[in-house]
Structure 1
Amino acid sequence: MLLCCKVYISETRNEEAVEVIDRAARREPETVIVNKFMDHDYNRVAYTLVSYVAHDSIGCPIYTPLQQSVVAMAGAAYEAINLESHCGAHPRLGVIDDIVCHPLGRASLDEAAWLAKTIASDVGNRFQVPVYLYAAAHPTGKTLETIRRELGYYWPNYMGNQWAGWGQPEILPEKPNEGPEMASRARGVVMIGARPWIATYNVPILSTDVSAAKRIALMVSGRGGGLPTVQTLGLVHGEDTTEITCMLLEPNQIGADRVQKQVEMLAAQGGLDVEKGYFTDLSPEMIVERYMKLINADSS
């Protein structure tokens, strides 16, 4: 059985730092990097890692190489990146913004939650970073969006549409699940959760009007009365465009095609042109296929 970890790190422009993190991710030969998505405008990189999970005699998960890989990446990131020097057009609250664990194939959500909580304990205690658990890893299933709103994640603190440095109080308004109760300005905090598969899909708008992008994003989202199970942000993306970034919480129910059509319709009402959107990761089926291909190639 396989588990997947997506690790979102706040850096792409410092190539040396990214290379250090890459080396840490490759240290464990039984963990496979199946995808790496870098966005220089957001100054953010997303890694998709996959490995097996082993169980004890009664079927409880006891080991996966993913744990060592993700913790090694965290250590490398905290050594190489100072959040106070970071700036980008995507919200974040830490050097490592988010770690999410997904079950693949016949693996269960409970196994993904076990991995998330194990990583959270390691990261919080070893690196002294406040950790907020969410979804299946949280004792009551608290959502990622709720925690982010409580911590001020969605509000830019630089030039009206950028996130720079640590922009929150060092004494955190909500108690973390692991690690210290005060945030380091150099490292920030990290969210770690477990959930069924989600898809991330971004739609470029050929306009620099970020207010219009935010209005469209809200109207597309379930929170704004649009598509249920779709969460969105309207963000600046480069010098000439904005972007609707979307999390599709149930992509088999409401997929990218519906999101694309909704964005196009709303943008047209405002006289704005839209480009074809793009996924930032592979589908679960493609991830398993790539994992099997890469792990077999390494063993041959």
Structure 2
Amino acid sequence: MSKALVECVPNYSEGRRKDVIEAIVAPFKDRPGVYLFDYRADEDHNRLVVSLVGNPDALQDALIDSAKIAQSHIDMNSHQGAHPRIGAVDVIPFTPISGITMEECVQLARSFGERYHQETKIPVYYYEDAALIPERKKLEVIRKGQYEVLKEEVRTNPDRKPDVGPSELHPTAGATVIGARKFLVAFNVNLGTTDVEVAKKIASYVRASSGGFCHVKGIGLALEERGMVQVSMNLVDYEKNSLYRVLETIRMEAKRYGVSVVETEIYGMVPAGAILESAAYYLQVAGFDPDQVIEMRLLKMMGEQG
């Protein structure tokens, strides 16, 4: 897999201490075979999301170095934030880009999980396509009750035993979820109200588990620092449910409560297709073809010419 390219978007339970954030990200900078595309932290979520692309071997080495730094600085027993989490390094997903199949990404995730536990002593759960237990394909199943509940139930409930490691969490770093999946779009819609129940109700209308859109996961959160609430979502297959379709449904439902959409957020990197489809919808462009975008056409020609 020397020519393979993989995307990886590790999430860490730290979004407030700038020195810790920079230390966690440092192993990804100026490292051969690893390309740091983006990293951003949210104080309300108390979460750091890092977007990487690289060679699988180089990525794994960098992820281990970063995890050890996070492990030494984050104590889940005192961690607080709006976003669901079970560990200092909460989730590490691998996505195939080129020169590697999804099946190979699954094997990559599982072998990395074994190494990760061996070097950090943090237990591992596998999710999405790498799941060993069908129910664990869904991240929300693994994170049910979050760190506080899992650290108690993991000792007594066999259904909550990690896939790698003993039936207990790391005393400060919790557990990490590792998997292989398609491109995911982290899409947030912020609403002009402080009533978090409105966001929770709307999230239940759009997420798949409550009868909403397939391939959409969502929760309602309070953004106390900003005086608003958020419908925080993951679109796990943007080709089957577009950003604009989800947004317009949220806008319609918000009107029921006399609430407006203040802004939206795309967290981390996003495929061009997800943005262009919504842009064409709002501009009402008839018969739009992504090749009409100069940069997209140029990249395609460069690829065709090697």
Corresponding letter in the other structure for 2:141: I
Which of 130, 133, 143 is the aligned partner of 2:137? 143
Q: Which has the higher helix share?
A: 2
Q: TM-score, normalised by structure 2?
A: 0.81
Residue 105 of structure 1: CA displacement? Answer: 3.6
For residues 181 and 96 of structure 2, the distance between their equivalents in structure 1, rounded to whole angstroms, comes to 8
Q: Is the 8 A contact 1:32 1:50 kept in 2?
A: yes
Which of 251, 261, 266 is the aligned partner of 2:238? 251
1:268 maps to 2:250: no
For residues 74 and 27 of structure 1, the distance between their equivalents in structure 2, rounded to whole angstroms, comes to 17
RMSD (Å), alpha carbons: 2.1
Greater RCO (CA < 8 Å, at least 6 residues apart)? 1
1:89 maps to 2:89: no
Q: How do residues 124-139 of structure 1 correspond to structure 2 at under 5 angstroms?
A: 124-139=117-132
For residues 249 and 264 of structure 2, the distance between their equivalents in structure 1, rounded to whole angstroms, comes to 12
- Give the secondary-structure state (helix, strand or coil) at the position aligned to 1:276: strand
- Give the secondary-structure state (helix, strand or coil) at the position aligned to 1:118: helix
Q: Is the 8 A contact 2:16 2:42 kept in 1?
A: no
Q: TM-score, normalised by structure 1?
A: 0.82
Corresponding letter in the other structure for 2:40: F
Gaps of 5+ in 1: 54-63, 154-164, 294-300
- Give the secondary-structure state (helix, strand or coil) at the position aligned to 1:16: helix
Compared CA separation, residues 116 and 194, structure 1 to 2 (3 A)? same
- Runs of 4 or more above 6 Å deviation: none
For residues 153 and 203 of structure 2, the distance between their equivalents in structure 1, rounded to whole angstroms, comes to 31
Corresponding letter in the other structure for 2:239: N
Gaps of 5+ in 2: 274-294, 300-306
Q: How do residues 175-214 of structure 1 correspond to structure 2 at under 5 angstroms?
A: 175-214=161-200
Deviations 1:135-156 (A, max 9, x none): 221235531335335x423xxx
Residue 119 of structure 1: CA displacement? Answer: 2.1
Larger radius of gyration: 2
Aligned to 2:66: 73
Residue 27 of structure 1: CA displacement? Answer: 6.4
Q: Is the 8 A contact 1:260 1:276 kept in 2?
A: no
Q: How many residues align?
A: 266
For residues 27 and 170 of structure 1, the distance between their equivalents in structure 2, rounded to whole angstroms, comes to 40
Identity across the alignment (%) = 28
Residue 171 of structure 1: CA displacement? Answer: 5.2
